[in-house]
Amino acid sequence: MAYRRSPTPQPRGDSINNMFYVYVLKSKKDGKFYIGSTKDLERRFAEHCKGLVVSTRNRLPIDMVYQESFDTKNKAQKREQYFKGGGRAHLTLKKLIEGA
């Protein structure tokens, strides 16, 4: 399953190294989602895929189904907490993943 990117504008110049990400993984084993944030998206996804993250170790294999980029760590962490909050946040996340 291909993942969807947020409509966030792409960073310019050297700012690409200063981006923070919120990402959503989906387990192919049980269909459950994992929501996280990181500064290095490729490294973190590789850690998940190798079974190095306790929360997803028993859910492998996984797909990245969504990501958003932010210019500050605080913004990324707030978005992550919003998605983890349940209720309306879960509906928003579902719509983003499905592309509705």
Residue 83: how many other CB atoms lie within 10 Å: 20
pLDDT computed for residue 98 by the predictor: 86
pLDDT computed for residue 4 by the predictor: 55
Per-domain boundaries in the chain: 4-98
pTM metric for this prediction: 0.80
Q: Is 52 exposed, middle or buried (0-12, 13-18, 19+ CB in 10 A)?
A: exposed
Backbone angles phi, psi at 4, to 5 degrees: -100, 140
pLDDT computed for residue 91 by the predictor: 86
Which are the contacts of 11, defined by CB distance < 8 A and separation ≥ 6?
18, 19, 69, 71
- How far from each other are the two terminal CA atoms of the chain, in whole angstroms? 16
Distance CA 49, CA 86 (A): 25
Which are the contacts of 96, defined by CB distance < 8 A and separation ≥ 6?
4, 6, 66
pLDDT tens digits, the chain, 100 residues: what are they?
A: 455 555 554 544 444 578 999 999 999 999 999 999 999 999 999 999 999 999 999 999 999 999 999 999 999 999 999 999 988 888 888 888 887 4
pLDDT computed for residue 3 by the predictor: 52
The CATH number given to 4-98 is 3.40.1440
